[in-house]
Amino acid sequence: MVLDMYVVKDGKNLRCGYTTGSCAAGAAKAAATMLESQSRVDYIEIDTPAGVRLKLEVHDQDIQENKASCSIIKDAGDDPDATDGIKIFAEVSRTGDGKISIDGGFGIGRITAQSLFGQVGDAAINEVPRKMIKKEVGEVSNLGYNVIIYAPMGEEIGKKTFNRNIGIQGGISIIGTKGIVYPMSEEALLKTIYMEVDGIAKNWGKDNILLVPGNYGENLSESIGMDIPKVKISNFIGDSLLYVYNQGFKSITLLGHIGKFSKLAIGVFNTHSKVCDARMESFIYYLALMGAPMEFIEKIGSCLTAEEALNICCNEGFGDIVSLMERGAEKRIKRYLKDEDIDIKVRIYSMERGLDLC
């Protein structure tokens, strides 16, 4: 059932959801209940660490004499979660030894590098969801069960998460410390970025790292063969740079769109439009350094988008502005990090022109 629970973010009411951990616990409890009763269960109730009791709709019920299985559909609420809508299945079989063992099946990632999330080879089912599963299944009976959590779409969806950067391969993770998905705050976004950086440091070393604001830059880097471990940083350029620098990376490369990195080129380290919109001001600053005539500068100042301004600059002989912005961004990053010797490389692209801008 849809969770009728909201939080306020940026003045908006955003609906909460429930985690993959809650889905796994609910599916396991429902499957155990069906196994013991040999009858279908359409809804199951579970407790969460957040103190919120959930009533979850059960799908794909299958009941046999010695095992039962079913699924719960993940609902992320208003959070932009890659796993929203995925089916989390549990298959439960009776052991009779009074113990509850838990493992991951198809679509659940496996830990491939030593981490805080478990031992190498373990299924990527975090500690809190494991405790939730044991608690909820234990309420059905004390006979003992094998619980297998799986997700048919997990392998595909896992590629859209940051799992590979933290040493998890082959599927999604079953996670959630509270059992409830709270629409992501800036703090949570930054924690996600830091976790990815930590994963790269641990699994690939600290020679170089690529920071990209979003999906397009990530895809572009792959298409041009930039074989550098990468992290998506959204608008949090300054916070990300400081964290990467303090982690000891030797070289940092940034690849971003002209709209965001024109701001970076004049020292803006949070590029969200609600924080700062200085795109045209950046163009004007660099055109002034290039000695552009006032009429041309005024023309650029009236543009609405960075793409429009860039096209005019390229078409009218001021295409060098891009390389000036890149070098300007590098200088400002070094100043921001208080290290003139750090190896910084900034590349700017446009949606229309790619990296071959002018």
- CA-based nearest residue to 254, from 155, 346, 355: 346
Of 37-41, 89-93, 176-180, minimum mean pLDDT range: 176-180
Q: What is the DSSP string of 88-137?
A: EEEEEEE-SSS-EEEEE-TTB-EE-S-BTTB-TTSBSB-HHHHHHHHHHH
Q: 179 phi and psi, to 5 degrees?
A: 85, -15
This prediction's pTM: 0.67
Residues 208-259 pLDDT 10s:
999 999 877 888 888 888 889 999 998 999 999 999 999 999 999 999 999 9
- Contact by Cβ (8 Å): 287, 245: no
pLDDT confidence of residue 314: 93
Span 117-133, mean pLDDT?
A: 92
First to last CA, the chain: 53
d(CA 327, CA 353): 19
Q: E strands within the chain?
A: 6-9, 12-15, 17-18, 43-47, 53-57, 59-63, 67-73, 87-94, 100-104, 110-111, 145-150, 168-169, 180-181, 208-212, 230-232, 251-257, 343-349
At residue 72, what is the residue type? I
The total number of residues written for the chain in this structure: 358
Judged against a pLDDT cut of 80, whether residue 113 lies above it is answered with no
pLDDT confidence of residue 355: 78
Task: Give the confidence band of 4 by pLDDT, cuts at 50, 70, 90.
Answer: confident
pLDDT confidence of residue 115: 60
Maximal C-alpha separation, the chain: 85
Beta-strand pair 145-150/87-94: antiparallel
Residues 276-334 pLDDT 10s:
889 999 999 999 999 999 999 999 999 888 989 999 999 999 999 999 999 999 999 99
| More confident of the two residues 354 and 347 | 347
- Contact by Cβ (8 Å): 295, 316: no
d(CA 256, CA 282): 15
pLDDT confidence of residue 2: 79
Residues 143-157 pLDDT 10s:
999 999 999 999 999
pLDDT confidence of residue 14: 85
Q: How many CA atoms, within 13 angstroms, populate the side-chain half-sphere of residue 36?
A: 17
pLDDT confidence of residue 116: 58
Pair of tokens at residue 110: 């496996």
At residue 344, what is the residue type? I
Judged against a pLDDT cut of 70, whether residue 185 lies above it is answered with no
d(CA 312, CA 303): 9
DSSP class of 24:
H
The highest-confidence range among 56-70, 102-116, 296-310, by mean pLDDT, is 56-70
